[in-house]
């Protein structure tokens, strides 16, 4: 939802330039169009501080990967960075970093043709970057470790299946909408990481707004992944050997919506987002935990924006444990699992009193959260007595 | 379709769809499973020691009634060798607490447990009815919550009990994890045991624990129902059901989408508590060597009806407070020098410029601060454990007493005074007021 427009507040000029008429109120400040656009851009570019020209070695071009979903946030990020790079070039003759863009295609109802069209259009609008479009099932060919294949045996998938078949069977084997959404998002992140590594990028730029990071915080908390939150929300080193940055982390989703609105059709026409307002699904069968959190923060953001940013700020204060390269990792999300605490058993909340709490579960070693999403192997689930 | 048999005993008809994992159980198997899980919680965390005297914080509501019933059952079945007594706090709310206390009195007889009732009037010189009369219905839950925490500790000290168990359930814990961006508080709410190093008269710690920490609210209700327990189910008249906070609603929605979600939030909360900077609990509160210190809890009714603090008005005030902090963070230096009051109030929500990349910002006016580590001291008025010079209860009381009309005639006020001097809180306040004049 866009920020409040205030056609009738004409008596007070823009709080920043004190000249123009305000077009909207941002965090209780009436701002004009120019000042608002600058406000958003400054917030994003401030987060790119370490990628300024003066931090770039003259003999080495740093390369970053932008993960594009064609949603409002990642498109805005591309738009802003495009402007920043042009600006750097103009002022210093070089740029602080080079940008690659990747889009991961997730099989859904949309026609291949319209995706193709969008992909061509974006390259025309923002030329000069290296673009790639991947299919989600590429992950089965890219992930080097055997970890994913151990997952597949549970879902009854054979090694010689095509990647498309493997993905379809894996998704089909999941028993809830939450699990499907969760596994797809997890695989998507891993695919983007693998792609970044294979193309020599030192870090990934994600388009997540404050609101999205808050959603993710509570969503991952609800899915039992509290242990990996610092790696999923904070700027800096990820456990994957490259950095994660969220340049839009100080901007609310509704502010990004207004930004795209005010920039005009050149940007707005590129957006291929799911319908704006998240509809509360009538059946809880089709609702996912991610949906719930999205709805929750959409409403909180309206009246309590500081609560949204406080969630993110607080989470960023959590300290990620030091990662040993030999630390055991989850076979699905690839996060380091401290002390090898795999699975959902063996903690205070596991109430089975050790009856069938297997200390070291079989091949797919999954973290607590991923264990909740991936159904147990078909063997001996039915005969628990 | 033939009735499905119980998934555990395969003999009886399944009557209960278990909220936690949606397994179909018969009545008996459900009750046993529920009890066994609490037993598991108690034994795996070595919660009790033989010979210990334990006070159950009893309100007459479903949680504490189930807690009392289950603990009695388990103590007999597994021979824990602990002595169980009931401790009730009378907040002085007519039409609510007086009725629920009747329930506790019946429970005491049913379970053969000794019951002690301690009143706010006796401890603080104020009943909640009087507090509400003065401060209004809005915000009175803060008074009630702060008073209750101390009241339980004082009651326990009076009974010579060093361990108080409360009926906090998994939903309560999950709600707190989701609700607050208050990291120091995270370990307190997620750990099963907290302790109050009591500096009151005796030099003993009072241990607080929540054996129902992993029990779902829905299962507690089912247990009470199928065991036909006698409990009191009316909501506090000052904190009506309609006021239910959004965090609570969110937890319930999560449970609907994925039954394990409440437990998963609790697990996440435990794991996150270990990532709080400066925390030394590598064990998630399960080993006894590092028991988080329970501080006076702010706001909210202590138990199941923790609605007040999540209500709309409360969210608005948190929002306002945070927005101020954000402004303060942006104008970093000036604000810090000129308005000490803003900083004083921030406590726990210190504005950070987070992000490792941004940190090299050369214009960093203030060195990155560690999270405020709470240093525990003693309230200079009543001697209760407090991170501030004066504990919250005394601060609130001071405000109340200042505004108390001087000339009203109050029956029984003299009598109450005598009682107060035994406990020291209210009379301490009066002394301070005299000194201050």
Chunk chain B into consecutive blocks of 10 residues (it has 437) and report each block's average pLDDT, rounded to whole numbers. 86 93 94 95 93 94 96 97 96 88 95 95 90 82 83 88 93 84 67 63 71 96 96 77 64 93 94 80 40 47 38 64 74 40 35 34 42 65 78 86 65 46 46 43
- A53-57, A160-164, B38-42, B409-413: which has the highest mean pLDDT? B38-42
Same domain, B48 and B132: yes
In a domain? residue B355? no
Same domain, B301 and B384: no
With the CA atoms of B393, B399, B403 and B406 taken in that order, what torsion angle do they form, in degrees rounded to the nearest 10? Answer: 60
What mean pLDDT is reported for chain B? 75
Same domain, B265 and B122: yes
What is the number of structural domains in chain B? Answer: 3
Chain segment B334-378, per-residue pLDDT in tens? 333 333 333 333 333 333 333 333 333 334 344 444 455 556 677
In a domain? residue B206? yes
In a domain? residue B68? yes
Chain segment B55-81, per-residue pLDDT in tens? 999 999 999 999 999 999 999 999 999
Task: Please give, rounded to a whole number of angstroms, the shortest distance from the CA of A276 to a CA of chain B.
Answer: 21
B200 vs A374: which has the higher pLDDT: A374
Same domain, B241 and B212: yes
A112 vs A241: which has the higher pLDDT: A241
Same domain, B294 and B335: no
In a domain? residue B16? no
Q: What is the pLDDT of residue B391?
A: 83
In a domain? residue B154? yes
Same domain, B70 and B154: yes
Same domain, B215 and B267: yes
Of B254, B286, B306, the one marking the end of a domain is B306
Same domain, B253 and B331: no
Q: CA A169, CA A176: separation in Å to the nearest integer?
A: 14
Question: Rounded to 5 degrees, what angle do the CA atoms A159, A160, A166 make?
Answer: 70
Of B253, B276, B306, the one marking the end of a domain is B306
Same domain, B285 and B387: no
pLDDT for A285 beyond 90: no
**Mean pLDDT over residues A198-224, rounded?**
95
ipTM for the whole complex: 0.89
Chain A CA closest to residue B326 = A306
In a domain? residue B242? yes
Q: What is the pLDDT of residue B117?
A: 95
Same domain, B301 and B319: no
**Residue B336 structural domain:** 311-345
Yes or no, beta carbons of A292 and B257 under 8 Å apart: yes
In a domain? residue B368? no
Residue A355: which region, alpha, beta or left (left: phi > 0; alpha: psi -120 to 50)? alpha
SS3 B241: helix
Q: Give alpha helix (H) positions in A93-204.
A: 112-125, 139-142, 147-154, 163-173, 177-198
SS3 B204: coil
Residue B95: which region, alpha, beta or left (left: phi > 0; alpha: psi -120 to 50)? left
Same domain, B293 and B416: no
Yes or no, beta carbons of B267 and A296 under 8 Å apart: no
Same domain, B275 and B418: no
Task: Please give, rounded to a whole number of angstroms, the shortest distance from the CA of A34 to a CA of chain B.
Answer: 21
Q: What is the pLDDT of residue B349?
A: 35
Q: Does any CB of chain A come closer than 8 Å to the CB of residue B225?
A: no
**Mean pLDDT over residues A143-165, rounded?**
69
Q: What is the pLDDT of residue B373?
A: 53
Yes or no, beta carbons of B275 and A221 under 8 Å apart: no
| Structural domains present in chain A | 58-276+283-329 (3.40.50.620)
Of B306, B323, B357, the one marking the end of a domain is B306
Burial B51-82 (b: 16+ CB within 10 A, else e): ebebbbbbbbbbbbbbbbbbbbbbbeeeebeb
Task: Please give, rounded to a whole number of angstroms, the shortest distance from the CA of A5 to a CA of chain B.
Answer: 21
Q: What is the pLDDT of residue B112?
A: 96
Q: What is the pLDDT of residue A289?
A: 94
Q: Does any CB of chain A come closer than 8 Å to the CB of residue B282?
A: no
In a domain? residue B321? yes
What mean pLDDT is reported for chain A? 85
Instruction: Mutate one of A313, A321, A341 to test the B interface: name it (highest B CB count within 10 A).
Output: A313
Q: Does any CB of chain A come closer than 8 Å to the CB of residue B5?
A: no
Query: Are B77 and B36 spatial neighbours (Cβ–Cβ below 8 Å)?
Result: no
Task: Please give, rounded to a whole number of angstroms, the shortest distance from the CA of A121 to a CA of chain B.
Answer: 33
User: Predicted confidence band at A147 (pLDDT cuts at 50, 70, 90)?
Assistant: low
A323: which residues sit within 8 A by CB, 6+ positions away?
Answer: A239, A336
Find the CATH number of the domain harbouring B249: 3.40.50.620
**Mean pLDDT over residues A265-287, rounded?**
71
């Amino acid at each position: 939802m866009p920020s409040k427009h205030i056609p009738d507040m004409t008596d007070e000029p823009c709080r920043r330039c004190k000249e123009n008429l305000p077009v909207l109120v941002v965090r209780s400040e009436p701002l004009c169009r120019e000042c608002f656009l600058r406000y958003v851009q400054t917030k994003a570019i401030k987060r790119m501080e370490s990628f300024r020209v003066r931090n770039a070695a003259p003999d080495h071009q740093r390369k970053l990967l932008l993960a594009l979903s064609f949603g409002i946030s990642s498109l805005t990020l591309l738009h802003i960075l495009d402007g920043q790079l042009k600006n750097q070039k103009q002022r210093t003759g070089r740029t602080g970093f080079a940008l690659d863009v990747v889009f991961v295609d997730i099989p859904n109802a949309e026609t291949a043709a319209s995706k193709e069209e969008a992909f061509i259009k974006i390259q025309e609008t923002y030329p000069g970057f290296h673009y790639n479009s991947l299919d989600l099932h590429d992950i089965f060919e890219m992930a080097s470790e055997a970890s994913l294949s151990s997952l597949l045996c549970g879902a009854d998938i054979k090694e010689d299946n095509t990647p498309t078949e493997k993905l379809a069977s894996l998704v089909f084997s999941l028993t809830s909408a939450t699990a499907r959404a969760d596994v797809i998002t997890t695989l998507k992140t891993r695919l983007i990481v693998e792609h970044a590594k294979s193309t020599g990028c030192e870090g990934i730029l994600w388009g997540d707004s404050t609101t999205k990071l808050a959603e993710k915080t509570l969503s991952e908390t609800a899915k039992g992944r509290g242990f990996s939150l610092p790696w999923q929300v904070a700027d800096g080193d990820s456990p994957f050997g490259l950095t994660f940055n969220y340049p839009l982390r100080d901007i609310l989703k509704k502010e990004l919506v207004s930004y795209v609105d005010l920039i005009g059709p050149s940007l707005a026409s590129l957006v291929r987002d799911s319908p704006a307002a998240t509809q509360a699904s009538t059946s809880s069968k089709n609702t996912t935990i991610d949906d719930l959190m999205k709805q929750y923060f959409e409403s909180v953001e309206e009246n309590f924006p500081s609560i949204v940013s406080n969630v993110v700020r607080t989470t960023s204060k959590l300290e990620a444990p030091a990662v040993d390269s030999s630390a055991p990792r989850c076979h699905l999300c690839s996060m380091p699992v401290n002390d090898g605490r795999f699975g959902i058993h063996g903690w205070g909340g596991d109430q089975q009193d050790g009856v069938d709490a297997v200390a070291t579960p079989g091949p797919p070693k999954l973290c607590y959260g991923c264990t909740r999403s991936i159904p147990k192997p078909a063997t001996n689930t039915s005969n628990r007595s | 379709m033939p009735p499905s048999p119980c998934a555990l005993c395969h003999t009886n008809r399944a009557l209960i769809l278990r909220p936690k994992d949606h397994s179909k159980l018969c009545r008996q198997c459900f009750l046993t499973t529920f009890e066994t899980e609490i037993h598991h919680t108690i034994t795996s965390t070595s919660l009790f020691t033989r010979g210990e005297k334990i006070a159950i914080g009893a309100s007459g509501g479903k949680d504490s009634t189930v807690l009392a019933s289950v603990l009695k059952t388990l103590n007999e079945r597994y021979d824990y060798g602990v002595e169980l007594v009931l401790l009730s706090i009378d907040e002085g709310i007519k039409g609510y607490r007086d009725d629920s206390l009747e329930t506790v009195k019946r429970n005491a007889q049913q379970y053969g447990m000794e019951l002690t009732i301690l009143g706010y009037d006796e401890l603080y010189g104020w009943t909640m009815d009087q507090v509400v009369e003065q401060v209004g219905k809005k915000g009175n839950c803060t008074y009630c919550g702060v008073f209750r925490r101390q009241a339980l500790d004082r009651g326990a000290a009076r009974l010579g009990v060093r361990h108080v168990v409360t009926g906090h359930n998994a939903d309560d814990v999950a709600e707190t994890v989701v609700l607050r961006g208050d990291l120091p508080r995270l370990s307190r709410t997620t750990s099963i045991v907290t302790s109050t190093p009591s500096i009151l008269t005796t030099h003993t710690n009072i241990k607080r624990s929540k054996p129902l920490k992993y029990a779902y609210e829905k299962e507690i209700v089912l247990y009470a129902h199928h065991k036909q327990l006698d409990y009191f189910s009316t909501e506090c008249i000052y904190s009506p059901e309609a006021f239910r906070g959004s965090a609570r609603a969110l937890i319930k929605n999560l449970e609907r989408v994925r039954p394990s979600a409440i437990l998963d939030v609790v697990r996440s909360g435990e794991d996150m508590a270990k990532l709080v900077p400066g925390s030394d609990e590598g064990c998630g509160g399960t080993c006894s060597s590092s028991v988080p210190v329970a501080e006076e809890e702010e706001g909210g009714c202590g138990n199941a009806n923790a609605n007040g603090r999540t209500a709309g008005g409360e969210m608005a005030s948190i929002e306002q407070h945070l927005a101020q902090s954000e402004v303060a963070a942006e104008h970093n230096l000036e604000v810090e020098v000129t308005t000490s009051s803003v900083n004083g109030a921030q406590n726990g929500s210190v504005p950070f410029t987070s992000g490792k990349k941004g940190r090299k910002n050369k214009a960093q006016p203030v060195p990155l601060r560690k999270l405020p580590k709470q240093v525990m001291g003693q309230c200079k008025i009543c001697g209760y454990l407090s991170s501030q010079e004066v504990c919250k209860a005394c601060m609130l009381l001071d405000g109340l007493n200042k505004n108390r009309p001087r000339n009203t005639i109050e029956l029984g006020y003299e009598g109450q005074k005598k009682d107060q001097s035994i406990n020291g809180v209210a009379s301490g306040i009066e002394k301070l007021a005299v000194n201050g004049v």
